[in-house]
Amino acid sequence: MNKQVNESEDFGAISKLNKWAEASPKEYRSAVRQEEWTDMSVHACHGYVQANLAIVPKDYAFEFLLFSNRNPRPFPVLDVTEPGDPHPKLVAPEADLRTDLPKYRVFQDGTLIDEPTDISSYWRDNLVAFVIGCSLSFDWALLAANLHYRMFGDYTTNIQCVAAGRFYGPMVVSSRAFRTARDAVRAIQISSRHLGVHGPPVHIGDPAIIGIKDLNEADVWIPPGPWPLTPLQPNETIAFWSTGAGLPVIAKACKVPFMITHCPGHMFVTDKLSEELAVL
Amino acid sequence: MNKQVNESEDFGAISKLNKWAEASPKEYRSAVRQEEWTDMSVHACHGYVQANLAIVPKDYAFEFLLFSNRNPRPFPVLDVTEPGDPHPKLVAPEADLRTDLPKYRVFQDGTLIDEPTDISSYWRDNLVAFVIGCSLSFDWALLAANLHYRMFGDYTTNIQCVAAGRFYGPMVVSSRAFRTARDAVRAIQISSRHLGVHGPPVHIGDPAIIGIKDLNEADVWIPPGPWPLTPLQPNETIAFWSTGAGLPVIAKACKVPFMITHCPGHMFVTDKLSEELAVL
């Protein structure tokens, strides 16, 4: 028997609660830069592309770019900065990647050494930043199509990314449980248009097939929302998308001497509208 | 008044004449490797992805990959080999990029120094090969949809690629003149699914807008077919797609100390079906 899922768990209902939902990317980034906002970026700046972040020394840049190319679902590259330049010229030329994300993770030899809200003190002339599309960018399109779904969390899977040089590691996925199978099918269609922000799901249905043992045990990220969520119901269809929340997992696995990522949930907001980057 | 366009000029009619049309990629590459075939790859291996080629020294690999990333229409990367390894593991692991293209172009400091049918003698341990999707891969899909069109040629345009490091240069386009506007619209839809082989056109209509002065003066490549073609007719709609035939143009412009490309029209045939790589 289906247990009633509370309407307040719906992603659309939650998105309306965010104080930054109607802000422009510039307003939002300014608040982040001044540390007025250090919380999650989820639901900020309605309609705009959010992005994950990876920063590596120049010596690792080719291999990381190749790793992204070989794994376009988890790591679709939107912009790559010149060495030492913190400004992403293609997607937000006025932004500064050292200050404009609410929270970062700094790794040394695969060990998390800091989780700062500003990385200016870590910046060096040889660092190259990769701005990588985030699937929260197509939630606007899903909600615009009146789809109803709940987000459970981000999980490490048993799918391995294709290695490139010194980069390898497991794929991490985000989850969306749709109220109906019809909504899940529509979400596959819509997200397929948004290839720059992960595109279509990598799996639908039984989480165990991709190595997720318990939906209540999200090991990479737990989204904001009313917890605990009602367990997945038989009438719901769950789908899993690759996510850049896997970047800290890669940094940890590969033991790169120095690497900075965003903190899951705390993304960069670009000046690009999701529709602007959609492939068709 | 419209002049009658000869049916024999139709791309579909021409494609049936090629002796390799029904060959498998393996059969075709074997013939090329043994130099039984050194002519164009156009129309070979029905349904399979054809690819352009760029080979640069390791020291230039990051900048070239970044150049490709910043210019996904002309240079969609399908595979990147490890330094010194001539086998494209993702798209045709048994193939050898030194011997399996009908014709190459070798550049030194931007000067064409050779146009060999085999580059084994030029191969070095520090070379990285980039396999780049070619739009001839989606002609199968256009023909399967019963579209009627003629291919005029490949032209240098006044559109500049986005530079990356030492790589820059003009965009080169291929051309397809459709018998009806309806066919042109359908071709835009179909090619949009094939992002890995240039995707949708970069221009439709007046060639002068992108700097093409005379359709009879294709400066980069002239396709096989009955020449001269009937001039473009008022009822036809012409569309222009980015093409990897621009790689020799880039090699020349950038004066890279050493770079090898395919010779326009003489592409690599992968083991991947066009439908296998289509994005939706």
Is the separation of the CB atoms in A48 and A271 below 8 Å?
yes
Calculate how close chain A gets to B21, using CA atoms only, in Å: 30
Helix (H, G, I), strand (E, B) or coil at B120: helix
B280 and chain A in contact, CB less than 8 A: yes
Across the interface, of A66, A193, A279, the residue whose CB is closest to B65 is A66
Give the DSSP letter of residue B39. S
With a cut of 60, say whether residue A277 has pLDDT above it. yes
Neighboring chain B residues of A199 at a CB cutoff of 8 Å: 279
How far B256 CA sits from the closest chain A CA (Å)?
18
**Pairwise CB contact (< 8 Å): B279 & A199:** yes
Query: Looking at residue A2, what is its pLDDT?
Result: 57
Asked if the Cβ–Cβ distance from A69 to B69 is below 8 Å, we say yes
Strands B149-150 and B170-178, how do they pair?
antiparallel
Indicate the pLDDT class of residue B3, thresholds 50, 70 and 90. low
Taking the whole predicted model, whether its pTM rises above 0.90 is answered as yes
Helices (H), chain B: 11-15, 25-33, 58-70, 139-144, 181-192, 247-254, 274-277
What percentage of chain A has pLDDT greater than the value 70?
99
Among the partner-chain residues A70, A90, A279, the one whose CB lies closest to the CB of B192 is A279
Candidates A59, A63, A69, partner chain B, best to mutate (most B CBs within 10 A): A69
The neighbouring-strand residues paired with A260 are A55, A106
Weakest mean pLDDT among A105-114, A256-265, B226-235: B226-235
Rounded CA gap, B273 and B276, in Å? 5
Mean pLDDT of B120-147: 97
Helix pair A58-70, B58-70: axis angle to 10 deg: 50
Q: Is pLDDT at B257 greater than 50 in this prediction?
A: yes
pLDDT score, position B76? 98
User: Among candidates B160, B157, B167, B159, which has minimal Cα distance to B67?
Assistant: B167
Per-residue pLDDT reduced to its tens digit, B172-207: 999 999 999 999 999 999 999 999 999 999 999 999
Comparing alpha-carbon positions, the chain A residue that sits nearest to B191 is A280
What's chain A's average pLDDT?
95
Q: Quote the radius of gyration of chain B (alpha carbons, Å).
A: 18
pLDDT given at position B1: 44
ipTM of the complex: 0.89
> How many A×B Cβ pairs under 8 Å?
39
Residue in A69, A80, A279 nearest the CB of B279? A279
